[in-house]
Each structure stands twice: as C-alpha cells, then as structure tokens.
Chains A and B, each alone.
Chain A
Amino acid sequence: MKPTLYTVVRRAGTAALALSLAVASGCKQFLDVAPQGQLSTAAIQTDPAAAQKLVDGVYNVLYLGGFSADINGLQYIILTDIASDDADKGSTPTDYLDAATIDNFTATSTNSNVNNCWNGYFQGVARANQALDKIPLSPADASIKNRQLGEVRFLRGYFYFNLVRLFGPVPLITTVPAASDANNPALQTRASVADVYAAVIADLQFAADNLPVKGGTDTGRASKQAAQAMLAKVYLYQKNYQKAYDLTSAVITSNAYSLYPTYADIWRTVGNNNSESVFEVQTGINASCNNEAVQLYVVAQGPRAGGKYGWSDLGFGFNTPSASLASTYEAGDVRRAGTIIFINPTAPAGQKSTGTVLWDGFRVPSQDSVQGARYSYKAYHSRTKEPNCGNNDYLPKNIRIMRYAEVLLMHAEAAFQLGKTSEATADLTLVRTRAGLAATTPSLATIWHERRVELAMEHDRFFDLVRQESVQPGTIVPALALHGKTFVKGKNEIFPIPQPQIDLSGGVLTQNPGY
C-alpha cells in the first residue's frame, strides 16, 4: 500500500506530538544547569560545610590592603596613624600626595584613601550580609548556626564601628540588596550615628551572647571575650562607662588572658596569638604565595632607602613614627624601643657607620642612606627569621586588633570614670610594670597617655584623640598643633564622604560638614 498524504501526515503528527510532549515535560528540567565548580545557593542548603565556608570567607576580607579597597592595610593606616600625632606620612616628600593631604587635614572628597576605605569596609559588610543571608539555609544544628551568625555579626559590628568612626553617618545595610536595587536611593540614605551605633551594639551583643569563650573555639575565630571587649570599646565611645566596665570586667575575670611578658615580641611571629591576644588577624604563607596576609602591610611601612641608597631596602617607608611620639615615652619605657626603629645618625667623617641592627640581625644603614629617621617596629617582619614565601607583598604579619592590655586600659578608664580608682590603679600598674615603669596615679591624662604609648602605631590613635576631645573638649587642637597640624573642630573629626560614591548615588549621599 502506498502511503497516502493522510497517513504520512498522521504519522508525522504522532511523532511531533510525542516530541513536543517529551519536550514540554523535560525541557524545564533539562535547561536547569547548576553552575559547575562553584558554590551556589542550592549547595548551601544541603551541605553544612558550605555555610561555614561563607563564614570563613568573611574573615578573609581582613586581608584587603595595598593601594585599593582596604580594611587593615595602608589606606586604613593613613586615616588612623598618619592622620594622628603618632606618625607622619613618610616615604619621600613627593610620594603619594593623597596621604599627605590626610596627614595635614587638607584632604578633599576626591581623596583616594577615603574611597579605598569606604570600598573596603563596605566589601566587608557585604560579605558579612551574604553569609548572614545564607547561614539560616544551612542544614546544621541551630547551635552551630548561632555560633556562625555570632562570628559574622562580630565582624560586621567591627566594620560598622570603624565606618561610623571614619565617616559619621553612613548607609546602614544589613541585608543583601537585589541587583535591581543597586541604584535605589533608599539604600544610599545615611543612617544617623545613633542608629549605626545601635546596629553595632546589636551585632556585638549577639556575638557576645552566642560565641564560645576563648579556648572553646579555633584560635583566630571571634570568641565571647573578643565580642565583649569590642563592645566595651563601643560603649567607651558612647561614654557608657558602666557597660564598658561590666564588659571589660567580664573579660578580666574570665582569667583567660594575661599580659605577654616581652612587649616587643607581641608583633613577631613568636607572639602570634599570645596570652594577651583577644582578637587578631591571622596570617600565614601558602603555596601560591598570595592572599594569606594583609597585602603590602609590612612592605608599605618598611624602611626605605634614600640619600646614598646602596642597600636592598625593606619597603616604601610610609607611616613613620613622629618626633612627638618618640619624645612622649617616659625614661625606661621598653615600649619605645619595641615600637620604633631608630635610624642612627651618619657617622662623622672618617668613622665607620654602625647603622641600626634589628632584632634578627638585619642591618639598616645609617641616616645618609635611609629616607626617614624612624620606622614602625610593630610592622617589621624579618625576611630571614620569620616565615616568608618569597612574595614581599604578602609577608605574614598578624594584625593585633584587640589586646588584653587595651582591655585593662579600657577597664581602668571606665573604673576611673565610675570612681573605682583603686581598680584603675591596679590596671595601670599591670600595664606599666610590663613596660618597665613604676606605678602611677590614675587620671584621665595618665590613662590616656598610657593608651597612647601602649597602643602607638596600632591604628587607634586618631579615633582616640577624637574620642578624648568629646570627653574633655579642648585637647585635640593643641595636641595636633604640637605636631604642626591644624585640626578644624566640627569638620576633621570625620573624613569626607568619597566624591565618587556621592556621584554614584546620584547625589543622594550627602557630604560631611566642612568638605
């Protein structure tokens, strides 16, 4: 039988129908292809390890540094040390003029340092928000998830604490915005300083309530005490001395910490996670020799060749300890030599120059071959006696963000403000004894002096000066004038909002007063 047109069409129709049915049912599924070799939201819902990876990934943002987005690197150092009376810009006079304008309070909103810190801290906030958004999806136990949330909220609280101290009112972003909301003006609106602090306190309180105590968690993870200490610092800025006192007391009475006997060793590899470490950025070396340390942290602050040159120098020479810092130490204070590398003067003609021999035997030549007169010892990393995988951009220097010494000094200040003078005396004595000094009478002046020398070159001084001014007005202008700088009250307490960010917000983001 010759097939007729009808039979052929019927058969073709059957085939087409079968095909389209097969397609309609299978197509949707067929075209859902998950990303290959990448972690997607779907994987987080089934794999308890995935949420933990996102938590660990937030810690990694602490490595941001160099000449771009920054959290603990050179850009942050410029805004905290170089802006203060502890340090000068360093390097050569004409190098990196953006940092020079921060140093002498002439920076404008186009300054790159403020934009880099803005970007870095908001990257940290975004990583934290992404993790907080996904952790609840994890199949892990609620207790594990609460610890994970606590770690991330500790970090977000820390980021916003720095943001509010750097910029004042800032947009408060606590969720993951949709891409379509990227340019939504509502997102750009600045929250008040009080609201930002309230968010910081909520984050750190959650962390303090949910994190295990030191020893109950991996070294390097945020602990209960780390959250309490950071929250105490926030309350100190809020002048809530009772809370600051209670929280620091809790850290002290946990008996988990003691002052490390050798001050200078705190910033060396032997001092990593020592007995007074409350929270520190963990660094190390890996095979690919990158991204396991704060980028350029060491090399940016390393002694720089000048004059006759002729030696393989150690870095760019930024953030040089100021003359005012060098002269503020009391006689016999071991912290002076632990904080500052002093470049020896050029030997008189005919005499052999000795240079400066560092703890590891490295000899820095004398002044005629070095750019600056002083460099930060706390940022020095030995190329020969400490781990090093050959990439100077990523020398593994842990950053000590919260030390027990600071807890004691916060406790002293809170106790003093609450009239518990004897407790303040005890705290001060502990800190001063380690420094090789005799006891002293507590007063705001002595406590603040102790804070300055104990925490010098640890990126806290500028914030502290501004805080002290709010406690005891009239201190900051003369302090910085002594250092040759003109601080304008009502303006220089915070930095300008970066102009590129105002432009990107379409003008919704407002500028700080005076800029």
Chain B
Amino acid sequence: MKNIHLLTWLLLAFALLPSALRAQQAPITGVVTDATSQEALIGVTVLIKGNTSVNAQTGLDGRYSIQAPADAVLTFNYVGYAQQEIPVAGKTAINVALASTTKLNEVVVVGYGTQKKRDLTGAVARVEGSEIVNQPVQTPTQALQGKLAGVQIISDGTPNSQPTVRIRGTGTLLAGANPLYVVDGVQTTDIRNLSNADIASIDVLKDASAAAIYGVRGANGVIIVTTKKGAVGKPVLSYSGTYGFKEAAHLVQMANADEYKSYITDTAPGTTFPSYPGFGAATTNWYKEILKRGTFQNHNLAVSGATDNVRYYFSGNLLQDDGIVTQNKFQRLTVRSNTSFSLSDKVTISSQASFSHANTQGVNLGAAYPDAYRAAPIIPAKQGPLYGNTAAYGNVGNPVLDIDKNNNRSVENRLQGNVGIDVRPVEWLTLRSAINVDLNFNNTTDYNYQFNNDNTTFIIAGGNQRNPTSSLGVMQTNSYRYLWENTATFHKVFNEKHDLTILAGTTTEEGQYTPLYGYRRGVPADPNQWYLNTGDPNTSVVNPYDPNNPNPDMLPSKDRRFSVLGRVNYAYNSRYLLTANLRYDASSKFAASRREGVFPSLGLGWVISDEDFLKDVKGLSFLKLRTSYGRLANDQIPVNSYVTTADINIPYLFNGQPVLGAVISQLKDGNVHWETTREYDAAVEFGFLDNHLTGEVTYYNKLTSDALIPINIPGILGDPDNQLITNAANITNKGVEAALNWRSTIADGFTYNFGVNATFNQNRITNLNGGQALFAGNNLQTKSDNGQAAGSFFLLDAIGVYQSAADIAGSPTSTFGTGPNGAPQPGDLKYADTNGDGKIDLNDRRYFGSYQPPVYFGINGGINIHNFDFSLVFSGNLNNKVYNAKKQARFAGTDNVEASFANSRWTAANPSNTNPRALTSSLPNSTYFLESGSYLRLNNVIIGYTFPVSSIEKAHLATLRLFLSGQNIFTATKYTGFTPELSGGPLNSGIEATTYPTSRTLTVGLTANFK
C-alpha cells in the first residue's frame, strides 16, 4: 500500500507542478479576508478600475493574482461586502480585509471549503471565537451551550470531562452518538486539547446537505473548528487570561445529627449511637468535608502577523482547573503553531499544529460521592490524623478516607495537526493535498494505599473499610490516526451570473489504538516507587480483559477508510442556489460485502428578496427559502463487530500448570454495517429592518434505519448472552429549530443585541423490527422500546402512601411493601395497578418520558455603551425528566437521608401522601424518584471595560480590556438533586447517581494587544 501512496503522490506532482513553475511574470498578489473573522473570502472579484476586461477572482485560500500597471487602482467586489478601492502604487502584494455589510453575508466553513452564509442550502450554524474566549470553561464545546439552535450541550463539572453533544436529537441506541469534530482538517471525536483562545470560529453542520461530504462520519452532525491565522500586518503580541475560583453551585441539604438520630430511632428503636470524645452532638457535613473552593485560571499568549509570503500564529496556553473536590486538580499546557508560506503566487504550503500536555489528579469519586450522601452525620470526618469510623458503625466507608487512600493520576500528551500544499495552476482551479495526523499518548496510574481498620487509621477500630495490601494499576495507551486528503476545487463565474464551484477529492485514513495494562499488589506507599517493578510479581495482571465483561479500552484496534468525495455548488445571480454532494465510503470495520456505500445529498435555495416583486417591500431586507435531502451514516461501531474472533487467555490447568486457551463464543452477524440516516430539511431565513432583525426557522426530519440492536437467539447456539447484535431498529428525530436575533444602535457608542433560539425535537424509536427493547440505567430505570423515546423511564407509578391497614386491605395486593414478604405497611408507597389485574407487580410499569428534552433553548443579550460591555447567556430545557437515583439507593439502615425527607416523611402524626415512612432498604424504580428536568440557567455573564486607546498608548498597548466573567451563576429548577443537567449515553441519560457536583466559576480577565 505504501508504494501505491508514493506512486499517487508522484503522479500528482508531475501532473500539477509544471503549471505552478511556469509563472514567469510577477503579478500583483494578495489575500482577501473577512474583516471580522479573518476567514479567506472565495470568489471576490478583483478588477482594474476603468478596465473591466482584466479581472481576477480569489481562490479557496482567498488568494488572487492579477496583472496590473503600477499606477492602477484595484477594486474588490464581493456580494454583501463593502467595495474597496486600493491604488497599486508600485506594490506587488496587496492584502485586503473586506467588511461585511450584514451578518447574513458572513463566510462559514463547510467541509473542504467555505461558503457565504447567504449562499448556503444546508443548515450551518456558526459561533465566532470571540464569543467563547471570555467564558471560564475548559472546552470550547461547553462555551457553545445555549448559543445554537439544534445543538444540545450537556456538560458536567468534572475537570477535563468531555461535554455530551447532541445535534438534532439522538439518532442511535448502541453506536456512538457524538458528532464528528474537524479541527483544521483533522477528524477527531475529542477536542479537549484545544485552547479556546486559539479558536477563530466553530461551525456546526447540522443537516444532510451540509454534512453529506463527511459520509459515514456525518450522521451525528459535524463540528468544524478553525483555529486562528495571522492577520495582515506587523507582528501582534496578545495576551488573554482569566483567574478566579470554582465552587459547588448547589448542594443537597442532608439531615443533621438530631434529625438523623430521630430518623434512625424511628426505624430501629433503641439504637445506640457511637460516641466520639470531643465531638459530642455536632454534625458532620460530609459534602463540606470532601468539597473545596478550587482555582480556575487560564492564560494565553500569542504572536501573530503576516507578511507578503508568510502568515503565522504562535501561541502558548496554560490552564488550571482544580475542580471542587479535595485533591482534584487539572493542568494543561497547549502550544500551537499555524503558518502558511507562499512559495510563489501559485503554490502555498501551510501547517496547523498543536501539542498539548495535560495532568489530571483524579478523585475516587465513584466511592466518595455516594458515600458522602449516605454517611452518618454523627461521626466526625477526622480528628488529627485519625478518621471517624463510619464503617464500624455499620455505615458506608468514610468518604474523606475514600479520597485520601486513593491516588489516581493521568498524563495525556497529544499532537494534532496537518501539513498541506495548495497549488493554483490557474485562477479557477485549486489543488490541495494535506496530511492530517492526531497522536495520543496517555498514561494513567491508579494507586490504592494499604491501611487497616485499626487505631492507626481510625479513631475507633473495626468495620470493613480497609485495604490489606496496596495495589497499583498502570494503563498506557497510544493511538494515532492519519488522514490524507487530496482535493481539486474548480471555481468560476460565467457571464457574471453563473457561479459554479466543483469539488472532487479522495481521502485515505488509518487509525490504530494500542493499550498496555499492568497491575501489581504490594507496591510501596512512596510515590517515587509507583512503578510496576516494585510490586509483588506473583500478583501481576497483564491484561484484565474479561471476555464475560469486556472493556473495549483494553482491546487494541485498527481501522481504515477510503473515500471519494464530490460537490457542486451553483448559484445563479446569487439568487437560485444548488448544492449537490456525493460521497463514496469504504470502511475496514465491516465485511467486504458490506463495507462500501454512497451518500448523496441535494440542497436548493431561493433568495426571494432579490426578486423584483419583493425588492421594494418596506422593512424586508432578506428572505430565503432552502430545502435539502440527503443520506448519511454513522460508523461509530467497534471494529470487528462483524468478524468472529476468539477470546484469548482462557485459563485451564494441565499437569497442574496453568494453560491459556481460546474460545469462540460470541456469535456475530457477519452482515453488520453502519447505521444509515436519511434527513429532510426545509427552512426560511429572513432579515427585516435593514437586517436589524434576522432569523431562521427550520423543520427537519431524520430517520435512522438499521440502527444496531440485539436480537435474542436460542440457547442451543451457545452464545453466552443469548443475543446477537444486528442492524434492525428505526429511530426518528423530527422537529423545528428557530433562532431570532436583534441588533441595533441606539446612539453613537451605544449598541445592543438580543437573541433567542429554541429547538423542538421529538425522538422516537419507531420500530425495533424484532430487536429487543433495551433496559439501561444504574438500576435499569430506562427501557428503549417501540414507540418510545430512547432512554425512556419505565417505572411503577407511585400514587401516594398507604395511610392505614384499612387502606392496604382496600388496595390491590402488592409485594413492594416493607413488611414480611413485601407486604405493604402503613406509610409505604402505594403504586398504581396500571394493568388492573388486582395486583401490583413489575407488569404495572409504564413509560414516563425521558431525559431528552422536547424543548431546549438559549437566550443571549449584550449591550455596549462606549467602553463598557455587558453580555448574558441563558440556556435551559423544558418538559424533560430526570431520575434522582442517589435518593433511591439505601443499602444500610444507618444511611443518612436528605433533611427534607427526614422532616417530611410519613409518620402516624404526619400522614404525608407523597413521602413514605422512614426507610431501611431500597425502593423499587418508581415515579417517586422521577422529577421534572426543566430548568433555566444563567450560563454566563460578562462585564467588561475597554480602556480608551489614548490612555494606553504610552504603555505600548493597542487594546486593553478588563472583564469579569461568571459561569453557571444561577439555575431556576424544581429539581431537588444537585443538577438537572446530566450527561449520559443514548440509553441512560438523566440519571443522577454519582454525578460530579456542578460548579459555579467566577473569574476576572484581561485581554491586551501590544503594539
């Protein structure tokens, strides 16, 4: 294969280079960019004033070349942009930044090119880098929250966590549901390595017309991140930074010592409580013990600029996010180098690359967080070096000890970038070849300290919280992915009216993932000895891959793709628009007979406001209709899903010695292939009152067919789980997304803007086609079945509380009570006999909605008064459901409860009809734990002051701005848990069990550009 690559390269080079080298005369060259986004403008007409016979157009990289006399004046014309005239005055290089006359004319990045927003036939939403850089968040995706219609972002508070992104609903059950990210051409699923300050813009491709160019990777939508390039001019040194703190945004109030004792005495009369000298009747607030106020800071330094032949942007970024749990810490260093060199007016070489190094000090939150919820408040957390012994009291482990006796550290190194060559043999043709690479090297060590349940650890000895031998697990993974892209773009305007762009190309991709794991016991406590060689060799575990409970992270993998892509954009008079895509994909993830596919799409647009009959309508500035239809697919399916493989290292003994065998046990469907999505999209875009009011309303309808789903198979086939995964289920997402923006100037130096966006989405599994409904959730609270949304809550309906023996006698029989054999007692929850068979059992479970919001929305506003600026972003969900699972888990009679439950529980004296009596065990899944997920959150507030230029000139500053930025300021919600914003997979979202507490961040920030 390598030879074929080389051959192709050589042929390409021979075919193309001669034209590049044959440019003899030195014409006037330059780059035309958008003044705000600095994005290259394609198709700008460059004319010599007074001589329209000589003209040129800018290519894909915004570059033009024109033969003009030294005394000529060049005019730059581009629809929707202010015309510029620039005298040549003997120069050979003229770079121009054109100012857009309306936001509708901004240029957006689409796959393998850019387009003016007004010429789009697909759904593309854009956020400028300047809109995200001031938010104190680690990932750019988090900063998108509430800003784009059709894009739902769910973030949790864990430092370095990847927010969940759903574009136009969830279109899969078992395959990956996350969108594709494209960072300067690098295709990835994770952009946590990026510094927000390096981002020029983020464009989200939402529909089939826009995303079809990404074929099998496009079905979940595509997020294109473009990083900054140097702007024309001398070097600019700029600094931006924020410094502040994070704290828990909302905590649940647990019962205090008195409330707790009274509660426990109710369930177990005569309980004697342990007494700790010096503690008395005090209350331990366990959340306070494990939470802290953490530092958040982010500093970015960049140098950028451009000369005639070189554009450059270099930056360094340091980010620290300590989270809000004790010991938690995250630090990341990112450096970036974006450069482009014009070798001649026909050949440009460019590179965008970043290296990031991240250190995470993790927290044993899986144990500590549920323990903090359940730990008895009557036990001190710690006295001196000794811990309160919650376990000896028959309670959970001491949460502080959970954290202190575990040390989890990870280091991630990532190199991401590309090198490309652009050749423009003639003005209307651009040829590009680029190699994109993404390398990841991660190392995680997980150390558990040895400690005993005696007086060296605890104030009072005993209990089962101990770890007799220390242990160390080390996981190293490395992965690489390269993507070689070759494209040719033809662009020409015929007769000034027919604007035609044709793109054709191929991409070749390979990725590999290699994990290495080691584990030993008896490793010394000194961190300098946390290496596998120091542990007991007889306790080695090389690969804990367990075929009965496979962890995909432990399996190496390799995959390849080959694709051919093509696109035609045609605009007649900028009024009638057409986009047609065709992509061919072949993927190594599937059997030879199932690995190829073709994905077409067609989009049409009509700018009605340009028609004569609407030209004079007062107040109407812009009106466009567009519609598209296309096919996409999702191949986020584990490699080898189709191929029968043997599980290895299956032990047995012969001659008393261990022997490792192999087993072929899982039956696999050799025909497994990607999930296909067909999407229809229709929209109206408009601008009124000189485009002060702009907006768009879009209807979409996505059908995913052949989604992966297990079907049951008979036991005689010997498959251990009696299931076979196959492509069978159908899922639809349909809805409307709307965005409305108003921007205006009240007086000189006083502008304001206001925007709202809302998405109405309906998700349905329309047909499992013989597949099995899927139960999921930490206690199997959800069921994804025919006619329901994916991840719908499937629960008993809690309709009240049994008040008396007579009440029980008059109700259907139930085995969900707390008496002997599950007989109900007064004070127990009463469930509805929904099937009316006279008994309450699991057959009475029904569906009660899902976490997927029928409506989600964002509101944003901003005001600029002279040097002050002020902006707000709200986001929220309406009418979805969340499940308060932490409240349900009650494993020991000594577990603590929430103060509200302790005080309002059913007692004979307080005959509540909503809360049951004091509990000693877990309750079944029911609507008692289901709450409204609706919320409105003030996501971000920024107040800034920009110093007048006159006041800072002496300090060699071009600009200086000081600002305060706050993230997650307040949330209006009826939900009683920590947060209604809960990330999860398609099947188990919206369950609050061990969620990291959400945090509020308050920072001060500074941006400065030096002269």
- Spell out A's residues near B (CB within 8 Å): 1, 3, 5, 7-8, 11-12, 14-16, 18-19, 22-23, 25-33, 35-41, 50, 52-61, 69, 115, 118-119, 122-127, 129-131, 134, 170-171, 173, 177-180, 182-183, 187-188, 218-221, 272-273, 282-284, 286-288, 291-292, 498, 500-501, 504-505, 509
Contact = CB atoms under 8 A, between A and B. Distances in A.
B663 interface: yes
Given A8-B429, A38-B645, A219-B654, A53 B662 contact: yes
Contact of B718 (A27, A122, A282): A122
B659 A501 contact: no
A56 B659 contact: yes
A36 B558 contact: yes
Contacts of B557: 36
A292 B8 CA distance: 54
B562 A31 contact: yes
Nearest to A12: B488
A126 B646 CA distance: 13
A14 B11 contact: yes
A362 B716 CA distance: 43
Interface in B652-685: 652-656, 658-665, 667-671
A177 B719 CA distance: 11
10 closest A-B pairs by beta carbon, nearest first, are A126-B718, A56-B661, A57-B661, A18-B11, A57-B663, A218-B654, A53-B662, A39-B646, A38-B645, A15-B15
Contact of A3 (B425, B588, B671, B711): B425
B556 interface: yes
Contacts of B716: 122, 125, 170-171, 173, 187-188, 501
Contact of B720 (A7, A59, A69, A171): A69
A458 B16 CA distance: 81
Contacts of B662: 39, 50, 53-54, 56-57
Contacts of B559: 33
B125 interface: no
30 contacts: A8-B429, A11-B15, A18-B11, A18-B12, A18-B15, A30-B1, A31-B561, A31-B586, A31-B592, A35-B640, A36-B639, A38-B646, A39-B662, A40-B646, A55-B661, A56-B659, A57-B664, A58-B663, A129-B718, A130-B663, A131-B664, A170-B716, A179-B670, A182-B667, A183-B714, A187-B716, A282-B653, A284-B658, A287-B541, A505-B714
Contacts of A35: 639-640, 643, 645
A286 B15 contact: no
B717 A126 contact: yes
B555 interface: yes
A33 B646 contact: no
B339 to A, nearest CB: 27
A459 B658 CA distance: 26
Contact of B715 (A15, A60, A286, A501): A501
A180 B642 CA distance: 12
B718 A125 contact: yes
B644 interface: yes
Nearest to B542: A287
Contacts of A292: 651-653, 658
B533 interface: no
Contact of B652 (A7, A134, A173, A282): A282
B4 interface: yes
A29 B1 contact: yes
A465 B669 CA distance: 44
A272 B659 CA distance: 17
A270 B896 CA distance: 50
B712 interface: yes
B236 to A, nearest CB: 38
B952 interface: no
A188 B713 CA distance: 11
Contacts of A18: 7-8, 11-12, 15
Contact of B651 (A8, A125, A130, A291): A291
Given A18-B11, A127-B664, A220-B655, 12 more contacts: A8-B426, A19-B8, A30-B588, A31-B562, A58-B661, A124-B718, A126-B717, A126-B719, A129-B718, A130-B665, A188-B714, A501-B714
A40 B592 contact: no
B540 interface: yes
Interface of B: 1, 4-5, 7-8, 11-12, 15-16, 18-19, 22, 425-426, 429, 431, 486, 488, 504, 506, 508, 512, 538-541, 544, 555-562, 564, 586-588, 592, 595, 639-640, 643-648, 650-656, 658-665, 667-671, 711-720, 722, 724
Contacts of B540: 287
Given A30-B560, A179-B669, A218-B654, A15 B714 contact: no
B722 A119 contact: yes
B1 A26 contact: yes
A199 to B, nearest CB: 14
A55 B660 CA distance: 10
Given A8-B429, A188-B714, A504-B715, A54 B654 contact: no
B532 to A, nearest CB: 13
A454 B722 CA distance: 38
B654 A220 contact: yes
A54 B559 CA distance: 26
A60 B548 CA distance: 13
B664 A31 contact: no
B654 A282 contact: yes
B655 A39 contact: no
A26 B15 CA distance: 21
A368 B724 CA distance: 51
B555 A37 contact: yes
Contact of B588 (A5, A33, A126, A221): A33
A283 B657 CA distance: 10
B587 to A, nearest CB: 7
A124 B7 CA distance: 52
Contacts of A288: 541, 544
B543 to A, nearest CB: 9
Contact of A122 (B431, B659, B715): B715
Contacts of B713: 182-183, 504
A171 to B, nearest CB: 5
Contact of B667 (A11, A50, A179, A286): A179
Contacts of B651: 60, 286, 291-292
Contacts of A179: 667-670, 724
B665 A123 contact: yes
Q: Which of A7, A23, A284, A287 has the most CB of B within 10 A?
A: A287
B506 A19 contact: yes
A287 B538 contact: yes
A283 to B, nearest CB: 7
Given A38-B645, A125-B718, A59 B658 contact: no
A12 B663 contact: no
B650 A23 contact: no
A438 B640 CA distance: 65
B604 to A, nearest CB: 28
Nearest to B712: A504
A282 to B, nearest CB: 4
A76 B576 CA distance: 75
Nearest to B645: A38
Q: Which of B540, B555, B659, B662 has the most CB of A within 10 A?
A: B662
Contacts of A219: 654-656
Nearest to B429: A8
Contact of B646 (A16, A28, A30, A53): A53
Given A60-B650, A286-B651, A504-B722, A118 B715 contact: yes
Nearest to A51: B662
A119 B723 CA distance: 12
Given A38-B646, A291-B651, A504-B712, A14 B15 contact: yes
B714 A59 contact: no
Contact of A40 (B587, B643, B661): B643
Contacts of B644: 40-41
Contacts of A29: 1
Nearest to A130: B664
